[in-house]
Amino acid sequence: MINLSKRVLTSLILIIIIYLSLINSSTLLIILIIISFSVLAELNLIFKKIYKKKNTARFLMTVLSLIYLIIFSLSIWIYINPFSDSKIISLLFLLLICVSTDIGGYTVGKLVGGKKLNKISPNKTYSGALGSFFFAILFGLLFIYIQKNILFFEINNIFIILIISLISQLGDLAISFLKRKAKIKDTGTILPGHGGILDRIDGILFALPTGILLISI
């Protein structure tokens, strides 16, 4: 379970970095730009391996990725500005669900094992998927309870948590599919226990904009 410790440590460090980025808009903008360019560079390497001699397809996929990363960054930027305690806490809540989903899936999947979920990511199991939902609900509701004077959602709390966790898992599978097509294990080596930036935020990339939309209703 050494790898689990690395995943937890890396997740905590990333949450701290993101929290610090919420001090002011300039810091947040810099963090979003760094993340977007890092992810785009890693995606470009993946597309380069998948579309070896198809430059047009590779270019189109890179452009589409850039457009989505702009949408991802803008969704955060527009939601958080102007800064307020409630918006910062809400954003941390969404990130906590994504992190809990990742750690829950890895922990339960390793401890329980069982039938494989699909062929896209052979290491993922049904028990791991259930573990992802369980951890997300457990820590999500605990966070809501602790921050009950700040967090108020119009939609049912468990429904929000389940949707965010589901999208996070689907995002993980989507990137796993691309890595499988490119025949690589990790998108990079910058993060201990995870690989590249994309390996860590694959679920977050898809779940965060969805979560912001849900809690903004």
**Over the stretch 1-10, which tens digit does the pLDDT of each residue have?**
556 666 667 6
Low-confidence ranges of the chain (pLDDT < 50): none
pLDDT score recorded for residue 191: 65
- Is there a domain that residue 28 lies in? no
- Is there a domain that residue 106 lies in? yes
Q: Is 109 exposed, middle or buried (0-12, 13-18, 19+ CB in 10 A)?
A: buried
Domain enclosing residue 6, as ranges:
2-22+83-215
pLDDT score recorded for residue 132: 93
pLDDT score recorded for residue 155: 85
Number of domains in the chain: 1
- Is there a domain that residue 70 lies in? no
- Is there a domain that residue 143 lies in? yes
- Whether the CB-CB separation of 212 and 99 falls below 8 Å is answered with no
| Region for residue 114 given its phi and psi (left: phi exceeds 0; alpha: psi -120 to 50; beta: otherwise) | left
Instruction: Return mean pLDDT, the chain.
Output: 85
- Is there a domain that residue 211 lies in? yes
- Is there a domain that residue 18 lies in? yes
- Is there a domain that residue 144 lies in? yes
- Is there a domain that residue 62 lies in? no
What pTM was computed for the model?
0.86
